[in-house]
Every structure is written in structure tokens, then in C-alpha cells.
Structure 1
Amino acid sequence: MRESLVAVIDDDALVRDAAASLIRSFGYRTATYPSADAYLDAALDTAACVLTDMQMPGRSGLELRHSLRARGSTVPMILMTAFPTDELRARAAGLDLVALLDKPVDPDLLSRALALAIGG
């Protein structure tokens, strides 16, 4: 649903801001976080979807997924990575992710993943 809030988590400010700008161009609202811990410290109930980087200082995107599940969160998650490997794809396959996207993120794939995660 348009105007839903998408949390964008990436330690690289340029990537984080570019992703948030792209997502806003699709009609969604965004909130940005420089780390998984910053997101976990924030109000979790507001995001309709989380777009997170895989490799960040502190918790990785996969560790964030585990932490959210441990807290009972069912927020849909899209993971993005600049280092796609078969091992990562296998690890991510069992985590109920909406998508695992390669960086740089293809706008059409991100738009489709968001529509799948949120609806609309």
C-alpha cells in the first residue's frame, strides 16, 4: 500500500540516502538507519517493510533478521548485498525474506519486491 513506511538500513550514507530517495519515488515513506542496532533501538511497529544491507559493522542483515524474529516481529524484509555468493543465497533462502537483491539495486526489482512485501 502506497504511503507505507519502509525502513532503510545501510551503514553507507550515500547508499542509504539513494535507496530512500528511490523508494520515495515509488510513493512510499522512508525512515533511515545507519545500523541494525539503530533500527532495533527505534520503534519497530511503524515499518511496513525493512530494506537492509547484508554487511554492516555490528549486526549483519541476516543477524538483524534473527533478532527481529526473536522479538516476535514479522515485518517483511528485503536484503541487499554488494557481495552475492551462492553461500549467502543458501543462508538467506531459509529466512523468509521477500528478496535478496544485488547492489547496485535494480529499481524495477526493488519496486516489485516492495509491492510483494507491502501490497499495492
Structure 2
Amino acid sequence: MSTVRPVVAVVDDDPRVLESLEDLLESAGYVAWCFSSAGSLLDRRLSGVDVLITDIGMPGTDGFELRDLVKKARPELPVFLITARHEIADQFRAQGTSGFFRKPFDGQALLAAVANALNDREVEGNDES
């Protein structure tokens, strides 16, 4: 019997954050796909991705723009925004996401939020059957 591990895509232009989140997610049993830009994720496509975690402040397509593009293509996909910025406007713009975390954030809180989002999707999927 094989267990399919959920895939969490992480987009951040800071390689240290990518490495840290990859280690955290994989230690919790997820498959982590890491991307240094929104474009590199979009080039790969979203098929197979179960959750998206994206930084807000990135060059090119920022996290808000990526969230909007993803929600058009996959409205059911849970999206979490992370940021080191602390402007209050970001909280308003983060509405419509599954979660918003300010760096440095509690890794266990992020893992719990990811697990909850996946459980919610599973329950909703079963309700439609």
C-alpha cells in the first residue's frame, strides 16, 4: 500500500527561506517543491500541487499577483502568504488566502495551518461525492 504525500509548493526569492521551509515540510511528511520566483512555478504548472506557500515581496510577480493568478486557475488551492514586511495594508490584501504569516513565524503553526487546509479540502471533496 502506498501513501500519496501532499505536495506543497514554496515560492520565495530567499534561498535560506526555501531551504528552511523545504526541511520543515519534508520533516512533516510533505513533498516540497521549491521555486525562487513566481515565474518558475508557473512554468512548471500547478498540476500536482496541493498547497502553495508564497512570499509577498519578490521581484517580478509578487506574492499577491501570484495568488491572484493561482486562484483564477485553481480556485480551490489553499494559498498561504508569508512576508517580512509589517505594513497593515498587507493584512487587508491578504484576505482571500488560507493564511498569512509574518517572518519569523512559528513553523509548527504553519504546519498546522497546512494540515488544516488539506483536511478542509478533503472534507469538501468528500461532500461533493
- What TM-score, normalized to structure 2? 0.84
Q: 2:27 aligns with which of 25, 28, 31?
A: 25
Identify if the C-alpha distance between structure 1 residues 2 and 28 changes in structure 2 by more than 3 Å, giving closer, same or farther: farther
Deviation at 1:43, TM superposition (A): 2.6
4+ runs of 1 displaced by more than 3 Å? none
Larger Rg: 2
Distance of 1:40 and 1:78 partners within structure 2: 16
Q: List gaps (5 residues or longer) in structure 1.
A: none
> 1:111 maps to what in 2?
111
> 1:53 maps to what in 2?
55
RMSD: 1.8
AA in 2 matched with 1:16: L
Alignment of structure 1 residues 1-120 onto 2, 5 Å:
3-93=5-95, 95=96, 97-119=97-119
Q: List gaps (5 residues or longer) in structure 2.
A: 123-129
Deviation at 1:72, TM superposition (A): 4.2
Deviation at 1:44, TM superposition (A): 0.7
Distance of 1:66 and 1:34 partners within structure 2: 18
- What TM-score, normalized to structure 1? 0.90
Q: Percent identity?
A: 32
Cα deviation 1:32-75 (Å, max 9, x = unaligned): 10101111111311110001101001111110011112334431
Deviation at 1:99, TM superposition (A): 0.6
Aligned residues: 118
Higher relative contact order (CA 8 A, sep 6+): 1
